[in-house]
Amino acid sequence: MKRIGIVGGAGRMGQVMAEGLSAAPDLEVVALVDVHEPEELFGAVYAPSLEDLKDSSLDVVVDFSVPDSVVHSANWCADHGVALVIGTTGFSEAQRAEVVSAGQKVGVVMTSNFSIGAVLAERFAVQAAPYFERAEIIEMHHDRKVDAPSGTSIATANAIAQARAAAGREPMQDPTTRTTLDGARGADAGGGVRIHSVRLAGLVAHQVVLFGGPGEGLTIRHDSFDRQSFVPGVATAVRAIDATPRFLDSISSLVE
């Protein structure tokens, strides 16, 4: 039985994780950590900070808070021999470096998307990347998401560019020579892969990868209609990681 503490436990994702993970027979959510007291505890105890907990009470910290808080969690976990699973995005290079450094002391999983479907969609996009002349990504999220583009779209764009380079394909060239509105062509994520971000109320997390070639196109779409879609991936990461030092920047290797 792995004992879990959820940082950001009062937030929307924290509450979903607490409910979903506590239902697993081999996992136990023992603490919800947040500056605000959670609406529901799902059998766990509430703590304002990790310092209020005994490190011996936790095997894994799951963090769905904000980058600054994740850095604090990473340092705490590294000091106390507790594994860390991160579902937050929008890190600066310095913040990411601190989290990666924690992986030299304990097990850390830091991924842009815990949806199994999203992992498979990226895998399919990598398979398709060498065979098409152009690729563009449209990512769509709820209007409370503060960072853009999404971490998932950036990871997908990088994977597409790397797959094309490994196959000896040249970076994609944008055929557009004139725009009447700045930003109309989205953001170049590298290798010529363009990302377009949408933020609207009613959405959760959605991504479309569009490939185009002579006379044909391929669309790879993934939709998360509910935040419960992220629970199986987080559970997979929690089961796989322990205090043994290592850093995983994706759950792809855990999904067979």
Cα–Cα distance between 246 and 64 in angstroms, integer?
Answer: 20
Active site residues: 141, 145
Percent of the chain that is helix, strand, coil (3-state, to 5): 35, 25, 40
Beginning with the edge strand found earlier in the chain, give each strand of the sheet holding 134-141 in spatial order.
187-188, 194-199, 134-141, 205-213, 216-224
CA 94 distance to own-chain centroid: 18
Cα–Cα distance between 18 and 43 in angstroms, integer?
Answer: 9
Closest CA to 9 of 52, 39, 54: 39
Phi, psi values for residue 45, rounded to 5°: -100, 160
For residue 121, the SS3 value is helix
Cα–Cα distance between 73 and 63 in angstroms, integer?
Answer: 8
Cα–Cα distance between 214 and 194 in angstroms, integer?
Answer: 19
| Residue recorded with tokens 């009470």 | 57
